[in-house]
Amino acid sequence: MKRIMTLIAGVFGMAVFFLLAGPVSAGDITNLAGDMPTDPIGGITGMAILVNATAINGLFTSLKATFNKAFAGAESQWKETAMLVPSTTKQNDYAWLSNFPKMRKWIGDKVVKALSAFSYTIVNEDFEATVEVDRNDIKDDDLGIYGIQAQDAGMSAKELPDEIVTELKDKAFESECFDGQYFYDTDHVVAGASISNKLTVPLSAASVAAAKASWGAAKDMMAGFTDDEGRPLGLRPNILEVGSALEETAKLLATGDKLEDDSPNPYKGTIKVVVNDRLLSGTQWMAHCTKRAVKPFVYQEREKPSFVSQTNMDSDDVFMRKKYKFGAEARAAGGYGLWQLSVGSTGAG
């Protein structure tokens, strides 16, 4: 009887401590409970009280802080070439892309441009990354791996826009944009004429002639783009995007005093290189104009990536499988902006 009263007093004392102290980690609880008595018959120990609402809330508060810190510190490059478009519904309509905004001389009545017959809608999708936490790991204070997983989930959430935008680029030669043509295509129609923003030439810094046939061709192609009234848009690419296989060639074009044949580099200082290690093709390269408010690609965000957790002590997963969960959720989508702002080459020759 005396041992039972001692056990009850110990449990009551711990409960009062938790109420006063607020959330604590499982490790802290382990230290506090280490000297509690053991019931050899029922198997009840001080460790059994580790898994309570206070301990669970403290654990997942810590995991959330780890997630948020990793999210804030992770690198991301999608904003170099894509515009963020907030979304408040399940989808956004981008028919407005058909009217490239350009001032004209005002003579007589204003010329009001109606939206074209093009229909281009981007539908938001759900994304998630989920990790299970075994209740026994909480009891045993074996939680180190979950901190690492929370950190990785935070980094992955930050990189989600990069993955979405890069997939657009990987499929840009075979996916339609607002005018119904592939984003990189040879027959976009402007003012009744067929216009191309697609090349096949490999990127080269071998000589002035080779550089002009690759980057120079993309630059000149973009400079020739006009609006629907035939007026030049005055566009010039400022970003050269490549995968890792073309990194050295691209950086030589952008920063080298001389090209591979020792000839002067006419493009030094005029190009910013973006190396996208996620690109699937080793030969694809792209010339982007990103100096306008509208960008070549769209990242549409309905719900920002956020930390979520399932910590209900009475949930079926906990009762039947002794599993808690945490992870990240987001709602977003990607799409193509103005094809006039980008020239792409397969690099296949």
Length of the chain: 349
Check residues 270 and 8 and name the one with the higher pLDDT.
270
Phi, psi of 180 (to 5 degrees): 85, -5
pLDDT digits (tens, 9 = 90+) for 60-83: 899 999 999 999 999 999 999 999
Check residues 102 and 153 and name the one with the higher pLDDT.
153
pLDDT digits (tens, 9 = 90+) for 252-262: 999 999 999 99
Kindly give the pairing relationship between strand 297-310 and strand 82-86: parallel
What one-character-per-residue DSSP string does 179-201 give? TSSBSS-S-EEETTEEE--EE-P
Of all helices (H) and strands (E), which one includes residue 138?
helix 135-139
Tokens in use for 104?
A: 């004209």
Segment 260-285 shows an average pLDDT of: 98
Phi-psi sector, 322: left (phi>0), alpha (psi -120 to 50), beta: left
Winning range, highest mean pLDDT, from 39-43, 101-105, 214-218, 315-319: 214-218
Asked if residue 45 has pLDDT above 90, the reply is no
pLDDT digits (tens, 9 = 90+) for 85-127: 999 999 999 888 876 656 566 665 544 444 444 678 999 999 9
Segment 268-284 shows an average pLDDT of: 97
Q: Which residue has the tokens 């990536």?
A: 305
Whether residue 42 contacts residue 7, with contact meaning beta carbons closer than 8 Å, is answered with: no
Phi-psi sector, 226: left (phi>0), alpha (psi -120 to 50), beta: beta
Q: What is the band of 214 on the pLDDT scale with cuts at 50, 70, 90? A: very high
**In the prediction, which pLDDT does 139 show?**
77
**In the prediction, which pLDDT does 22 show?**
42
How far is the C-alpha of 239 from the C-alpha of 79, rounded, in Å? Answer: 12
Segment 26-39 shows an average pLDDT of: 36
Q: Which domains can be identified in the chain, with CATH numbers?
A: 76-349 (3.90.1690)
Q: What is the band of 20 on the pLDDT scale with cuts at 50, 70, 90? A: very low
Whether residue 167 contacts residue 334, with contact meaning beta carbons closer than 8 Å, is answered with: yes
